[in-house]
Structure 1
Amino acid sequence: MQARATDNPAQVYKADNQWSEQVRQTRKKLAGICGQCMNRNVRVQTIDGHTYEGVVVGSDQSYLHIMTSDVRFFGPYASNAILTLVLYELLVITLLI
């Protein structure tokens, strides 16, 4: 009998337990903060250095949703497009007055 690849899959990557716990804690903390920013203008910077501005229209335990008119992603005709950002990739959230 010949073994199939699905019978014994090769693991390519496994996250370190300490790192995984840190990500879970950070995600939980950010979810609470994002909930407090609902319907407010924010500037968000990601760990990759990208910056976005918009109004927080939603968040959950994994994502932040901001309404933006950023033409870099949605073109010149995109008004009030929703951008979804992963919580653990956020570096800075700034409230804009």
Structure 2
Amino acid sequence: MSIQMPGYHQQVLYQADPNVVYNLRSIRDRVHHICRQHMNQIVRIETMDGQVLVGRIVNCDKGIMYLAVSKQGGYRAFFGSPFSSPSDELILTLVLYELLVITLLYT
């Protein structure tokens, strides 16, 4: 949807290739399904930026994974999440299509 503003000309700065959009949606949907199957389980996650996180999958919704991680000094997440967690955990939000590897950790 585009909104025309009087006196302004529109110039498209970026438009995603339809194949890329299809691939991203496919990845997002696949990872969402995997996350839903492994709710409340401990996982190790590697992101596209090389960050490695270990935590418990709390929820997965609208392309976002909510991961409960242990507090280890410093603040790494926002408080007041709608997903409750023990007081020794913080909730991180991760974009599903930025995840490279999700490894299930057995306890």
Shorter-chain-normalised TM-score: which range?
A: 0.7 to 0.9
Q: Give 1:74 deviation, angstroms.
A: 1.4
CA contact (8 A) 1:28 1:61 kept: no
- Could you say which structure has the higher helix fraction? 1
Q: 1:10 maps to which residue?
A: 11
Give the TM-score normalised by structure 1: 0.84
Structure 1 letter corresponding to 2:47: T
> C-alpha separation between the residues in 2 aligned to 1:4 and 1:72?
52
User: Structure 1: 5+ residue runs without aligned partners?
Assistant: none
Q: 1:40 maps to which residue?
A: 41
Q: 1:95 maps to which residue?
A: 104
Residue-pair matches, total:
91
Q: Give 1:71 deviation, angstroms.
A: 3.7
User: Structure 2: 5+ residue runs without aligned partners?
Assistant: 1-5, 77-86
Question: Quick one: percent identity of the two aligned structures?
Answer: 37
| Runs of at least 4 residues off by over 3 Å | 70-73
Give the TM-score normalised by structure 2: 0.76
